[in-house]
Amino acid sequence: MTSSRWSDLDRPPLNEAALRRAVVTPDSLWTALDVVEATGSTNSDLAARAAAGAAEGAVLVAEEQTAGRGRLDRRWSAPARSGLFFSVLLRPGDPAPARAGGGAPSDAVPVHRWGWLPLLAGVATATALSRAAGVDTALKWPNDLLVTVDGEERKAGGILAERTGRTGVVIGIGVNVSLRAAELPVPAAASLALAGAQGTDRDPLLRAVLRSLADWYDAWRAAGGDPAASRLQQTYAAGCATLGRQVRAELPGGRELSGTAVNVDGDGRLVIASPDGEHAVGAGDVVHLRPAR
């Protein structure tokens, strides 16, 4: 039998028209929302649209990604309609105009604070999923989304931010929603369903994440990108499962650093206390060595 977008009744397609009506409103950050059946990477596609002049607030959602990318050039794949795979275009380097019914105008955010955007997206996504899906969602530095399955922390999603042009950043978000155990790409992966989600309807989950992301982005912009004044830094630390853990940071150039993760500094770097002092890590892969207490 020929398969179609309706062949898996547990995974209905997103309702593009209803999502657009709910999300693209005069008082919203979001200016456009498109859903495509399949693409290689929503980040790559949206970056191309940004280069062609797309406005801030464009959202591109794929029912399936065939060449999704994660941090450190890792690949992200999942069955069609089994998760949320989308990218958003933000332009923190442009002054923000006032929006009807809400957002006040704000100046461009200094480039040195743009590094907080992937962490902001992590906070927004984790808090939205915790509320909308009823699944306790934590963050592994910098922005892996963790859930608990059978008493074990596992990764259910991730975030990739890429600069585009002088003023723009494309943020890609991928979340496993309804993946079954046999469909997981690796044993350490998870999905909201496996973590006991109250529901796996992707439409309200996507709306919740976009609302949360807009709220956090507006607050961060209004504070000039200051992570403390916008309460982003405090909220990130409160939801970060890495802090207080014994970790090993695998750094660029093949170096490693082991110690206790003690803080996230004002630049979004992970501070690790080792026998020879504290070190701020801005890039690399962090491995949790000790379970959370």
**pLDDT per position as a tens digit, 89-141:** 999 999 988 886 656 788 999 999 999 999 999 999 999 999 999 999 999 99
CA–CA distance from 171 to each of 45, 120, 137, 160 (Å)?
Answer: 12, 10, 19, 6
Which three-class secondary structure state does DSSP give residue 204?
Answer: helix
Top CATH class of 16-238 equals alpha beta
Domain boundaries, the chain: 16-238, 242-288
The secondary structure of residue 151, as a DSSP letter, is T
- Within the chain, strands assigned E span 32-36, 58-62, 68-69, 75-76, 83-90, 138-140, 144-149, 152-164, 168-176, 246-250, 256-264, 270-274, 277-281, 285-288
Model pLDDT for residues 230-283, shown as the tens digit of each residue: 999 999 999 999 999 999 999 988 999 999 999 999 999 999 999 999 999 998
Model pLDDT for residues 205-218, shown as the tens digit of each residue: 999 999 999 999 99
Q: Cα(81)–Cα(203) distance, rounded to whole angstroms?
A: 11
Q: How confident is the model at residue 72 (pLDDT cuts 50, 70, 90)?
A: very low
pTM assigned to the model? 0.93
Q: Cα(105)–Cα(120) distance, rounded to whole angstroms?
A: 20
119 closest CA partner among 202, 257, 228: 228
* Torsion angle in degrees (nearest 10) through CA of 114, 119, 124, 129: 150
Q: To 10 degrees, what angle do helices 202-222 and 232-239 make?
A: 140
Q: Contact, 106 vs 221, CB < 8 A? A: yes
Q: Which stretches within the chain are classed as H helix? A: 16-23, 42-51, 117-133, 202-222, 232-239
Q: Contact, 177 vs 205, CB < 8 A? A: yes
92 closest CA partner among 221, 219, 214: 221
Residue 98 C-alpha from the chain's centroid: 26
Fold agreement between 16-238 and 242-288: no
Given 3.30.1360.120, 2.30.30.100, 2.40.100.10, 2.60.120.260, which CATH number is that of 242-288? 2.30.30.100
